[in-house]
Structure 1
Amino acid sequence: MELRQLAYVVAVAEEGGFGRAAERLGIVQSAVSQQVQRLERELGVLLFDRSTRRVRPTAAGERLLPEARAVLVAADRTRRVAAEIAAGADGTLRLGAVHGPGDRLYAVLAALADVAPRLRVRLLRAAPAERLALVRSGELDAAFVRGPATEPGLDLLALWSDPLYAALPASHPLADVAPGDPAGAASDGQAPDGPAPLPLAHLRDLPLRLAPRAHNPPFHDLVTAAWHAVGGTAPVPGPPFTTLRETLTEIAADAPSWTVFYRVSELPPVPRIAYRPLAGLAVTTSLAVRSGPPPPALRRLLQAIRAVTPPV
């Protein structure tokens, strides 16, 4: 059974004859007759009564006409959906997401909904290495990642940057902002958007609580490279970073130490902790994609990202 055979059957029934159906379809009458007869033989039923001047559907033809029309409507709908998928306006975009403030991601998804309202987004949250591996394997179409500038086999499209912050004991001298600084003074539990930036070199002698490299290689490498850039070989090692809340609690209670972080949520209120932005240090969020021309749905995502984020 072919779609064209069903289309011929519907045309013959609606036009009342093979000749008029052929005119409507723009083909010769013999082609219409041959294809209808071939379908009748395949189905084992007679679809039209040809004994009168006006061709009329038989009882079997009357019963099968609604089914034929439904198949043709479904085929037409399938073609339209396929065309929209090919244009990136429909389908599913599988996207790896970073942990962190949702404002930017929500803005991107809202912009994407404006340019492609029928495109569904399936978000996956996973560790950075897993996200990159899933993009390489094709199980994800793209993934947001923080930190790496290059990644074998993938293109990293820089999107935006977030500042890095130091958390240290509020009683430590480096917790204070220089007198007269318009940003004000660091204080117990102060949010990380008030104090003046702190040069990384000033923290050279204070033990750093940093998670093992295996937990987040891009971020670990970023911090290590920053130390080399200020003339140090490596920070003084402190106890490992575990979770932000647990690490902040330990910094407040134990021997002086500090940690470096980027904001992924509102900071927990921890007494005796001060926050300082680190001068000139930021972590870049990129979109990891497979090398080559982006598929249509991914082009729609990039269009949405450009609409709501300034270029890096």
Structure 2
Amino acid sequence: MELRQLAYAVAVADEGGFGRAADRLGIVQSAVSQQVMRLERELGVILFDRSTRRVRPTAAGERLLPEARAVLAAADRTRRVAAEIAAGAEGVLRLGAVHGPGDRLYDVLSALSDLAPQLRVRLTRAAPPERLAQVRSGTLDAAFVRGPAAVPGLELLPLWSDPLYAALPAGHPAAALDPLRPADLRDLPLRLAPRARNPPFHDLITAAWQAADLGTPVTGPPFTTLRETLTEIADDAPSWTVLYRVSGLPPVPRIAYRPLAGLTVTTSLAVRSGPPPPALRRLLEAVHRSSAPTKRSPATRTGR
């Protein structure tokens, strides 16, 4: 059966005749009669008693017409929802999230909720390579990533940049400097997680040292967890680690945080090539509308 056949049958029932139904629908009466008869043949029942001047539903018609109205109402709802999805105002947006997203991502999601209250966001947290692979496969619509300037097979849309900070012993001479430059840390061992966990972040630091003609940073013990690493920096042989901003880091005794001059890490949205779908356009609008907090704790874990 076709939706128009159901619509014609409902119009006949509402108007009490084929002629009046045709006038309401703006078509000829014969078209209404033919489509209703085709529907009756397909269903195997007679829907209308045509023996009187005013056409009335049969017993079968009285039972089936409410179902026809429900089908038409469901079709209308489907069209409305499809239109909202096409406009980016409804549906599901599947996003890969960075570890320790901080205030800024929450600001973006709050702005997106204001722009499109019916748009549901489903966040997935995974290592950067897995997030990017899921965007390529279509499992995710997009993914937030920090650091890379290019990703094979995907387009990166820069969203915001955060300054980088050094965490070092408060009693170290370099802690008296603000900001710090790579030369100020040249002899202090650097604690980073293995490069495989976040190659762009490693490469950013290495490039800064090479640009300052310092070769590569002196390697210290590996970064483990944020709390453990900061505790070891405070208590063990002098070393340092590099951080970017998120919220919620408690102060650590004997640790100083100093900005690294000219060094920032960029957070981008990794998407498949081509015009972004409406839901992603809403997300990008939310990024522009959200305001970045001006005061946040200058730290997060590295290499994630």
Deviations 1:57-92 (A, max 9, x none): 111111111111111111011111111111111111
Unaligned runs of 5+ in 1: 178-195
Q: For 1:103 and 1:165, how far apart are their aligned partners in 2?
A: 17
- Residue 229 of structure 1: aligned partner: 211
Deviations 1:72-124 (A, max 9, x none): 11101111111111111111111111123532112211221222121111111
The offset of 1:269, in angstroms, is 3.4
CA contact (8 A) 2:94 2:122 kept: yes
- Residue 56 of structure 1: aligned partner: 56
Q: Secondary structure at the match of 1:209?
A: coil
- Residue 280 of structure 1: aligned partner: 262
- Determine whether 1:215 maps to 2:193: no
- Residue 288 of structure 2: aligned partner: 306
- Residue 8 of structure 2: aligned partner: 8
Letter in 2 for 1:114: D
Please identify runs of 4+ aligned residues in structure 1 that moved more than 6 A. Answer: none
- Residue 35 of structure 2: aligned partner: 35
In the alignment of these two chains, the number of paired residues is 292
- Determine whether 1:269 maps to 2:251: yes
- Residue 94 of structure 2: aligned partner: 94
**How large is the Cα RMSD of the aligned pairs?**
1.4
Q: Secondary structure at the match of 1:160?
A: strand
- Residue 111 of structure 1: aligned partner: 111
What TM-score, normalized to structure 2? Answer: 0.92
Deviations 1:204-241 (A, max 9, x none): 11111111100111111111111111112101111111
Determine which of 266, 279, 287 is the counterpart of 1:297.
279
Letter in 1 for 2:187: D
Letter in 1 for 2:274: G
CA contact (8 A) 2:103 2:247 kept: no
Identity in percent? 83
- Determine whether 1:19 maps to 2:1: no
Q: For 1:210 and 1:79, how far apart are their aligned partners in 2?
A: 52
Give 1:172-191 correspondences, 5 Å limit. 172-177=172-177
Q: For 1:141 and 1:18, how far apart are their aligned partners in 2?
A: 49
Q: For 1:74 and 1:293, how far apart are their aligned partners in 2?
A: 31
Letter in 2 for 1:231: D
Deviations 1:276-305 (A, max 9, x none): 111111111111111111111111111111
Unaligned runs of 5+ in 2: 293-304
Letter in 1 for 2:76: D
- Residue 186 of structure 1: aligned partner: none
Q: For 2:106 and 2:166, how far apart are their aligned partners in 1?
A: 27
- Residue 83 of structure 2: aligned partner: 83
Taking structure 1 as reference, are residues 101 and 298 closer, same or farther at Cα in structure 2, changes over 3 Å only? closer
- Residue 258 of structure 1: aligned partner: 240
Letter in 1 for 2:61: G
Q: For 2:225 and 2:27, how far apart are their aligned partners in 1?
A: 73
- Determine whether 1:152 maps to 2:134: no
Q: For 2:213 and 2:141, how far apart are their aligned partners in 1?
A: 40
The offset of 1:16, in angstroms, is 0.9
Q: For 1:143 and 1:32, how far apart are their aligned partners in 2?
A: 52
- Residue 192 of structure 1: aligned partner: none
- Determine whether 1:240 maps to 2:222: yes
Deviations 1:16-35 (A, max 9, x none): 11111111111111111111
What TM-score, normalized to structure 1? Answer: 0.90
Q: Secondary structure at the match of 1:41?
A: helix
